[in-house]
Structures are given as C-alpha cells and as structure tokens.
Amino acid sequence: MYYFLTSGYLGYDESLPHHTFDAARAKQLLADAGHPNGIDIQLSCINRPVDQQQAQVLKQMLGDVGIRVNLDVLERIAWTDRMATGQYELGTYFTTMRPDPDSILAGRFESGQGKNYAQMADPVMDDLLRKGRSSYDDGVRVAAYREVQKRIYETAWYGAIWYRK
C-alpha cells in the first residue's frame, strides 16, 4: 500500500514505510490466523466504474492468496449507509485531493468522525491529528502529519493502493 498523502501535501514524506503486496506472507498470515484453506469475504463498493474496477483488482489480488471475494456493488447512498453503520467486511472507495492534509486525514482517521468507516478509535492518532491542525507553524504540522502517516502504516486500518491522475 502506498502513502495516504501524496506528493504536494504538507507532511508528505516518500521515505516513510509502506506496505507492499507479498502473496507468500499473506498466505502465511491466513494460515496463522486459522484459515489455511482461505476465507470468504464480502467487498462492498459503489456502483460506478472506477470503484468497480478497483474492486475487481482487489478481488484478483486477494484471490491469489486465498481470500475469496464476493463483490457487493451498491448505489452510493446504500454504500455510505452500510459503511457508516459498520455493516460490511471490506469496503473500497476513492477520494480526491484536498487543500490541506487535515481535511483528508481527520475525517478518515479521527475517532467519531463521519468518514471514519472503520470506526477506528486510536487516542495516539487523535492526538497527532489535533497537533497537526492546532498549529500555524508548518514545521510543527509537517512533523505531526509524518507521524500520522507512520501511525497509518503501523495500524493498517486503511490503505491507499493506487492514485488516479
């Protein structure tokens, strides 16, 4: 998985760690979790071409390691409702660039926020996000958002798999 922030965002740092696709490691993790023969999951996506294409790519990649994916293609309101209420196993979406890193990070990663579909509740992340948004000093903000990206890597609640130009 790639960085959640992209080049041009305050705090973007290409040197930060990121996840890569490692089929052998994924198979081992499945076996270690008690699923040596794989597992069936449901992947929910919005009924629009870009989301369905992304879901198909994920289905193939996950299938290669033994995670059998059933696609659940929904209209946008139904998808949003399902995500907001936690009634899904795996979901995919795409987002666009925003003018400030806080506007893309806080909604997804801060406890209790509306687009925090994973219902992540991480006091460390909350503190880092508050630190980034509470200063006018770019140095303080850069440091905070680099730490946010490290925390995204460590917790793996979400991941970015590609960027659309």
Say if residue 94's pLDDT is above 80.
no
Sheet holding 90-91, edge to edge: 67-74, 39-46, 90-91
Q: Beta partners for 160? A: 2
Q: Beta partners for 91? A: 44
In the chain, the percentage of residues whose pLDDT exceeds 90 is 56
The arithmetic mean of pLDDT across residues 12-38, rounded, is 91
Residues 35-58 have pLDDT tens digits of 999 999 999 999 999 899 999 999
Q: Which of helix, strand or coil describes residue 27? A: helix
Say if residue 1's pLDDT is above 50.
no
Instruction: From residue 51, give the alpha-carbon distance in Å to each of 28, 35, 46.
Output: 29, 28, 6
Helix ranges, 33-156 (H): 49-63, 76-84, 101-109, 123-133, 138-155
In this structure, are residues 130 and 9 in contact, taking their beta carbons and an 8 Å threshold? Answer: no
Residues 53-85 have pLDDT tens digits of 999 999 999 999 999 999 999 999 999 999 989
- In this structure, which topology does domain 23-155 adopt according to CATH? Dipeptide-binding Protein; domain 3 (3.10.105)
Say if residue 99's pLDDT is above 50.
yes
Structure tokens at 122: 């991480």
pLDDT the model gives residue 114: 77
Residues 140-159 have pLDDT tens digits of 999 999 999 899 888 888 77
Listed ranges 3-7, 26-30, 154-158; the one with the highest mean pLDDT:
26-30
Q: Tell me the average pLDDT of the chain.
A: 88
